[in-house]
Amino acid sequence: MRKRLAMLGYALLAIGLAFAVAGGVAYTRVQDGYDSLEAFSEAQDVQLSYNEDDQLVDRGTTEGAEAILQTLKEDWKYPVVDGDLDPNDPLVNTGTEYMYQMATVSYHVLHGTQTVVLPEDVEYNGVLYEAGTHEFNVDGKYWTDFDRMHPIEGPAREQAWSGTVHGLIGELGVGTVTHSTLQMGLALSGLFGGLGATLMLTGAGLAWAMRGSKEIEFPDTVPQRLVDKKKVDALT
């Protein structure tokens, strides 16, 4: 029994070591990913704006930033991490900051106006739209909410949700997913490392405890006197 317990301890020690090594490798890979994302963010040099009171602002006002955060939290249901919005580190390089920047682009598109010029009168669904300049209020319309056949809405959609806007949103989305994936990888590396350490300590403790301990001797399950009695009964 002592040898078996000692062997179990050594086995746990080996398994724990394997988990610890896996956690270390995972941590190294995740750190490489963080370094790459940081370098990418620095190359773009997109920064959030804060006032002298370290409050987040958009176009100079805290009200604008609050409206964008409301879009992010309530409309998009994104779990904002307040600690990611650090006035001492305004560079957009965390998941929340990427999503805030994406919400900023979308917010100004959704609440903006577009100028559409018709070169001639156009009739659509029984309504006459005269030639000239028309101001179209986007009024919260996303790309799919527009009537693309409409003589005013169709051109306004192309102007509001331009290729540049779609490209920015796509790029910011990639940054958000990348940062979230790296966070998950960091959590897994910590899990592997913690599990490995626990198994190693358990295995080492068990192996150490079995050193020098005497083999446990268990009594026979059947007393010898009962065995002798059965032999006598069998002969008679």
Q: What is the pLDDT of residues 25-38, one digit of tens each?
A: 877 877 887 788 88
Domain ranges of the chain: 2-208
Calculate Rg over the CA atoms of the chain.
Answer: 34
User: E strand or H helix at 201, and its extent?
Assistant: helix 163-210
Q: pLDDT tens-digit profile of 52-88?
A: 999 999 999 999 999 999 999 999 999 999 999 999 9
pTM higher than 0.75 for the full model? no
- Range name among 125-134, 159-168, 224-233 with the lowest pLDDT average: 224-233
Cβ atoms 85, 101 nearer than 8 A: no
What are the tokens at 39?
């370098």
pLDDT in tens, 184-236: 777 878 887 888 788 778 877 777 777 655 555 545 555 555 555 555 555 55
Q: Are 9 and 203 in contact (CB under 8 A)?
A: yes
Alpha-carbon distance 163 to 17, whole Å? 51
